[in-house]
Structure 1
Amino acid sequence: MPALDLRLPSVEIRDLRMAAAGAAAWLGGLGGLLAPRAALLAGVVAGLLALLVAGRPGLRRAIAAWLLVALAVGTSAVLRDMSVGGGPVATLAPMRSAVDARITITSDPREVSGQFSTSVVMRAVVTHLSAHGTSYAVHTPVLVIADETWSGTRLGSSLHLRGRLASADGHDVAAVFTPLSPPVRVEKPSVLWRGSGAVRASIRGAVSHRPMPERALVPALVDGDDTSMPDEVAEEFRTTGLTHLLAVSGTNLTLVVGFLLIVGRWCGVRGRWQYVLGALGIIGFILLARTEPSVVRAAAMGTVALIGMGSNGTGRGIRCLGVAVVGLLVWDPWLCTTVGFALSVLATSGILLLGPGWSRALANWMPMPVAQAIAVPTAAQLACTPIVAAISGQVSLVAVVANLLAAPLVAPATVLGLLGGLIGLVWMPAGRLCGWVACWCAWGIITVADRCARLSLPAIDWGTTVVPVALLTVLCVGLAVTLGPVFARRWSGFSCCVVMVLVVVVPLPSPGWPPRGWVMAVCDVGQGDAVVLNAGEGRGVLVDAGPDPALVDKCLARLDVEALPLIVLTHFHADHVDGLPGALAGRDSGEVLVSALPEPPQRYRSVLEATRGRVRVPALGEVRRVGQVTLQVVGPTPGVVFRGDPNNSSIVLVAEVHGIRILLTGDEEPEAQEAFVKAWPGLRIDVLKIPHHGSRHQDMRHLLSLDASVAIASLGADNDYGHPAPSTMDPLAESGAATFRTDRDGDVLVLRDGEGMKVRTRD
């Protein structure tokens, strides 16, 4: 048997000096932004002590250099923070001053859908400001929030307009700017911005003839344009560890610039001209994907990855990584506080330090290309796992498998998408041919994400506090040390792969869930409603489907609900209907009852499409029986279908399951509640689904008169609406009702047992 090659990558001391400089820059930036005085004092003291302890002159020089790097980045951070937070814009923002301004748009406009309307958000720099009779020449970043008419605003445009300032939460913008007048264009974008915009539009045009969501994925792969990506697909990418494909990452640059270098070599470009071509490719990529900090960061990490592919790649790559970290933090100190920057650095470090050794270990019993395809995503994922878990509260188990399966399709989808855009500028039919092939590759990637997200255990929940994250970090370090020897031996490496596949494919039992005798489940689906009534024998009546297809699908799977003979959609807001495709996936379904008010129209159309038109508006007083469930439609009251007000037009139901009476209220508000009281006086129930996620807009006399023993609010954590309001929850609790909320309690189940009614939660 040949000797196993378990050598670690060749890393010399000089390779680590720039890495240490990068760490010093990071600490200096954090200190400068979070605690400048304390950080300065601590840094100087630590540097002096290190200089005293260091024996060799070379080490002393290195420590002095690291200290200077930290001071430089910290000073840059302080000055940048002062320039943003101390100028006229930041001073006028708390007073909500109306100003005349000249602004330059620095990001593409992005539409953000709210519950009632759509806003357009973009970044800009204020270059001239007039307020209260005084004019200022400034250069201050702001966040612009406008209406839908701004969706066609072009990056790089200089505009003159009147607007109102407001305080901003983030430290990287001085204020929020809300336009009060239509913009007057002062200067159109430069030739470079117009050119990059034309290429981006051409990329979208090259795939516009293909169906969703693949035509939305191709622009995301090429230049990070994910504005059209459906929410359910984005959630599947998050679950399977493929989110990096939806944003500008080092992978994008590596593929685009690597392809450009290959073409250059075919055309005879050699020697130093290869470096020139690569530099031009990097600049072009940044312009195409926009010069936002996240893009520049991704470009820097992608450049490091390209360097790491060469001879002595590990040593050169680590040195370049240190240089990239220092340079990026001097340019934008705020990067040191962003999660994306930390993930980029860790992923690149994992690939450089762990990837080569694991590839050689696996190559002892499999072809090297296959070994590298397994080792590289595994190394990157392992390095990022603690931070990802700290943010999401989950550890993905399918990320490596999903990235391995998707990897062969990413390169052709990206390169052909870019070619389609470039060729489309000259002749769109040829561009669409490239786009057609790119979309087929994108379809394969989406299929991988969908299938992996539907596995029995794609991810496990993990705590986000200090102790669980620290434990996970220790586990990851242990795996980094031990996986090399495990991978090197055929049977241990093969067994490791088999165990991982079995864990994510074979269903694991969930002892005690769902509990016997459950009659009603309020699913934790984020900021929305999804209620399931147990009709028996694996059947359920679903009332609303929440905002997220994946979340409602998982809740129904946890409840072992295999068929939905009846679905009720109380109204057509996104937080009640957007999850419908997930509820229908893989389940037999019957009739769908819907609100009489088909607004907003786009949500109504999506419901028609998902149900193939199987919808009906129920009559007031109508009674339906499905297995153990009896439903009666008790609202909205005739004459209380408010045009333009879907909330007050919600279907209201009284359900009875095994003798437990439940009132399901949709999002009805005081106007509809007042009419309800007059139509159904003296109604008493056992369980109340609190209207409108527990908002403060309630007729509390009505809610308290119901005499409910249990009251449940369905809502998402850290929502922007102030749900649930204390003015709603406190009176209910004081009346004797046991109150629950899905953002804290998770799934809430109401049970019937021999002793009466009980409630169980699954957080």
Structure 2
Amino acid sequence: MARATDARLVPAALAVWGTALTGILGEWWLAPLVGVGTVVVAALVVLVVRWCRPAWYRRTWPQAAVVAGLAVVSAVVTAVEVRDAVEHPLRVAAGEGRSAAMAVVVSDDPRRVGGAPSGRPDQRVVVEARLESYRVAGEPGVRRGRGRVLVIAPADSWGELLPGQEVSVEGRLSPPRSGEPLLAVVSARDPPGHPSEPPWWQRGAGELREGLRDAARVLAPEPAGLLPALVVGDTSQQSPQVVEEFRTAGLTHLTAVSGSNLAVVCGAVLLAARAVGAGPRGSAVAAGVALVGFVVLARPEPSVLRAAGMGAVTLLALVLGRERSALPALAATVAALLLVDPALAVSAGFTLSVLATGGLVLLAPPWVAALRTRGVPAGLAEALVVPLAAQVTTAPVVAALSAEVSLVGVVANIVAAPVVAPATVFGVVAAVLSVWAPGVAEFFVRLAGPEVSWLIWVGRTAAGVSHPTLPWPAGAGGGLVLAAVLAVVLVAARSSRFRVAAVGVVLGGALMVVPARTAFPGWPGPDWSFVACDVGQGDALVLATGEPGRAVVVDAGPDLTGVGDCLRRLGVTRVPLVILSHLHADHVGGLDGVLAGRRVGAVALGPARSPTWAYEEVAAVAAGRGVPLVELRLGQRLRWSGLAIDVLGPLDGYVADETSGTEVNNASLVLLATTSVGRVLLTGDAELAAQSGLLGAGVDLAAPVLKVPHHGSRYTLPEFLTRVAPRVAIISVGADNRYGHPSGQVIAELRALGATVVRTDLNGHLAVGPGPEGVRVRVWREATAE
């Protein structure tokens, strides 16, 4: 007979967590209030149980005392920390927008600010640090202090810092967001001052990580970037496209140092120990050594140490089969970590780590046992169950944060799980040997290559499903609803009748949905000719070539996420040509999102090469994918079976000034595409001078479809719009952008010409195809197609 789960410490952990959460998200004085309330509730429970006198009533008061005591301690610790942070002179100075000079100790690896290409001169990093001393501008003397600060600084000078280094920083202060346990956010312009030497263990770990990165270069770029991320959470070289695909596929946890990730590492060692006949104690020792070694390799910073605590608890449950002691150990670990650092209460990573570990402790053992009774080998049963248990328990929090539920995550994790352990083992061995025997390290990297490539294929395939995610209400409410749904499903799944009914519902739904999707295809429809992707403030345009799965892409938007998702939705797998109208970031930033995972013939540019940093970035991305760069010239004509493109501009002799954004805009390629719906004029960001030049040269600009210049800015000539005389005017623009695009005057002029104006910020993705009156625009936004 199965023994009951020992959950006596769970209420205490929840009381500590709830007290810390209330104090951080609310006012500091709410924490003591919750602590006192917990004491009162615990006393009432003891009195009621004593009055009812069940057989187990004598065990109630010690448990209640533990809950009340820990809640009070948590209330005091949280209240003191939050009050000190709120009333700290640095927080006050941040609220006033003042500047300060301070000495800080770096506490985590610098993280690049997302969305900007790594080669940009204005690339920034975010550095978490611990305050040592400070001096507010205009105030005398240097003060000692403690607390957390966040530094936003130039990547070229701050990006190589290691945890444990003390540096000086000076910059303008700004207050943190509500609920963030920080004293201030510091915007720094200068390099870090007087950096100290990092601790020896951080330096040694850094050498091993660098050695693994160097050894991984024997693989193709994408696997070479994923292997260090998988092994030690080093995502610095990871392809942005792979990052996005892993997020969509629910595989991101594989590249983060978390409790579940450490459990996978230790599980690999355990399987090897069992294979050589080691007993339970020997297996536990081997896994413990692997856990300690992994912490050193991944750097013993706070996030890794927290993950190690969770991994140790998981190890206790899955390695030793001690589920009764694993849950109390998990609860005690959670309570202890929150008492030491109450800020963890609002950390999404901490929450996900606890939930994933709880799933492995509570759900995995009985599920593994159920599979083994049906003849499934132990190793295979664990490989199937571990990702499923982690996905089930973390899904509510992921849904609350991302406003979507992955429909492919469970399957993707199950398919990926068998190769994670060998890839990790080979990667760890390669990292350890990289400093002393680089050639041998490269051999182990090659052994890990097929497994890492398999993971990339799984993530890309799962992310490429037409609807990989389901929209879900964001926030705590949405998370609670999903948690309730999953709880009902888990309880009902214990019934064989429910399982049979569920299979019937799935099969019936497939029989209904598949024919419906065939008879009534969704956006963009089978006959689309031109699509303006909704990529925010930028351009990403797609022209069908008349062959299934093939299209020409004009501009790539500001980041890879938007254009990559759009091309996947369109089913574009081959791109004979990517044309970049000009080299501003909102047109080239997502280039890798077009190139990754697709067969691309070439990347085409106009004659301008400004800004230089952007040209170098484009060249580097293209070279990394093995795609050649070509140049388009005035008068050139490109042909495909269902598409022709004529280059109308820029006019000969035009040279863009490196420092002038207007000059770069006027150097935009102006293209006239002949499609199944007629002529489509693509104008890039051409402004007044370029438009005037085209008008003066007598160029035939007439087109029923116009991509309005420069996101509909006011720098558009009415005469230019009159010459084009569009029936449909498409404006690619970001919602609430800081440039004031599009201009109301330009929209009014277009409507006066009889044009239908559609905008990506209001309508979403825009697909142009044939319609009853010649041209029809179909729009798609979120889960709604029109």
Q: TM-score range by the shorter chain?
A: 0.7 to 0.9
Map of 1:176 onto structure 2: 185
- The aligned residue for residue 777 of structure 2 is 759
Flag structure 2 segments of 5+ consecutive residues without an equivalent.
51-58, 782-786
Is 1:248 aligned to residue 249 of structure 2?
A: no
Output the CA distance in 2 between the equivalents of 1:418 and 1:440.
Answer: 16
Paired amino acid for 1:156? G
Query: CA distance change for structure 1 residues 175 and 704 in 2, over 3 Å: closer, same or farther?
Result: farther
- d(CA) in 1 for partners of 2:227, 2:143: 43
SS in 2 for 1:753: coil
CA contact 1:711–1:732 (8 Å) conserved in 2: no
- Show CA shifts across 1:252-301 (max 9, x none): 42355567789999999999999898777655544433455533332222
3-state SS of 2:23 partner: helix
What is residue 650 of structure 1 aligned with on the other side? 668
- 1:209-251 deviations in whole A, cap 9, x for unaligned? 3332222222212221111100111122122221111111223
Distance 1:51 1:500, change over 3 A: farther
Q: How does 1:533-682 map to 2 (within 5 A)?
A: 533-534=543-544, 536=546, 538=548, 540-546=551-557, 552=563, 555-556=566-567, 558-559=569-570, 567-572=578-583, 576-577=587-588, 583=594, 593-598=604-609, 599-607=614-622, 610=625, 612-613=627-628, 615-619=630-634, 621-622=635-636, 629=643, 631-637=645-651, 638-643=653-658, 647-655=665-673, 657=675, 662-668=680-686
**Which secondary structure state, in structure 2, belongs to the residue aligned with residue 351 of structure 1?**
helix
Hey, what's the Cα distance between the residues in 2 that align with 1:326 and 1:671?
A: 66
Q: What CA distance in whole angstroms lies between the structure 1 residues aligned with 2:255 and 2:439?
A: 26
Tell me the residue number matched to 1:155: 163
Distance, in Å, in 1 between the alignment partners of 2:32 and 2:553 is: 59
How big is the shift at 1:373? 2.2
What is the CA-CA distance between 1:741 and the residue it aligns to?
A: 4.4
Change (3 A) 1:754 1:257: closer
State the 1:206 CA deviation: 3.4
Q: Which moved more, 1:213-222 or 1:573-582?
A: 573-582
d(CA) in 1 for partners of 2:684, 2:450: 41
Q: Is the 8 A contact 1:120 1:150 kept in 2?
A: yes
Q: What residue in structure 2 maps to residue 129 of structure 1?
A: 134
Measured in 1, the distance between the counterparts of 2:80 and 2:756 equals: 53
Q: Does 1:395 align with 2:397?
A: no
Q: 1:433 deviation in Å? A: 2.7
Q: Following TM superposition, by how much is the alpha carbon of 1:18 offset from its aligned partner in structure 2, in angstroms?
A: 1.3
* Contact 2:85/2:183 (8 A) holds in 1: yes
Distance 1:571 1:726, change over 3 A: closer
Q: 2:443 is matched with which residue: 433, 438, 448?
A: 433
Q: Secondary structure at the match of 2:684?
A: coil
Letter in 1 for 2:210: A
- Match of residue 3 from structure 1: none
Aligned residues of 2:398 and 2:405 also touching (Cα < 8 A): yes
Q: 1 CA distance for matches of 2:396 and 2:457?
A: 27
1:442-467: CA deviations, max 9, x gaps?
22322332333334554444443777
What corresponds to 2:53 in structure 1?
none
The 1:671/1:21 distance shift into structure 2, 3 A limit, reads farther
Alignment equivalent of 2:232, drawn from 199, 213, 223: 223
Distance in 1, matches of 2:80 and 2:354, equals 25
Q: What code does the residue aligned with 2:483 have? A: T
Tell me the secondary structure at the aligned position of residue 229 of structure 1.
Answer: coil
**What aligned pairs does 1:308-707 form with structure 2 within 5 A after superposition?**
308-310=317-319, 313-369=322-378, 370-455=380-465, 457-464=467-474, 471-486=481-496, 509=518, 511-515=521-525, 518-525=528-535, 528-534=538-544, 536=546, 538=548, 540-546=551-557, 552=563, 555-556=566-567, 558-559=569-570, 567-572=578-583, 576-577=587-588, 583=594, 593-598=604-609, 599-607=614-622, 610=625, 612-613=627-628, 615-619=630-634, 621-622=635-636, 629=643, 631-637=645-651, 638-643=653-658, 647-655=665-673, 657=675, 662-668=680-686, 687-691=705-709, 698-699=714-715
Residues in 1 aligned to 2:509 and 2:265: alpha-carbon distance in whole angstroms: 33
Q: Secondary structure at the match of 1:306?
A: helix
CA distance in 1, matches of 2:445, 2:600: 36
Whole-Å separation in 1 of the counterparts to 2:563 and 2:146: 46
CA distance in 2, matches of 1:341, 1:433: 36
- 2:567 and 2:369 mapped to 1: Cα distance? 44
Query: Is 1:110 the equivalent of 2:115?
Result: no
Q: CA 1:389 to 1:103, structure 2 compared with 1: closer, same or farther past 3 Å?
A: closer
Q: Which moved more, 1:412-421 or 1:505-514?
A: 505-514
Counterpart selection for 2:148 from 137, 141, 145: 141
Structure 1 length normalisation: TM-score? 0.83
* 1:25 to 2:33 alignment: no
Question: What is the number of equivalent residue pairs in this alignment?
Answer: 746
Render the CA deviation track for 1:475-509: whole Å, top value 9, x for unaligned: 322321233445999x9999999999999999954
Correspondence for 2:316? 307
Shift of 1:30: 1.5
Tell whether the 8 Å contact from 1:124 to 1:141 is kept in structure 2 after alignment: yes
Q: What are the Cα deviations for residues 356-383 of structure 1, in whole angstroms up to 9, with x where unaligned?
A: 2222333343323233322222122122
Root-mean-square deviation (CA, aligned residues, Å) is 4.4
Greater Cα shift, 262-271 or 395-404: 262-271
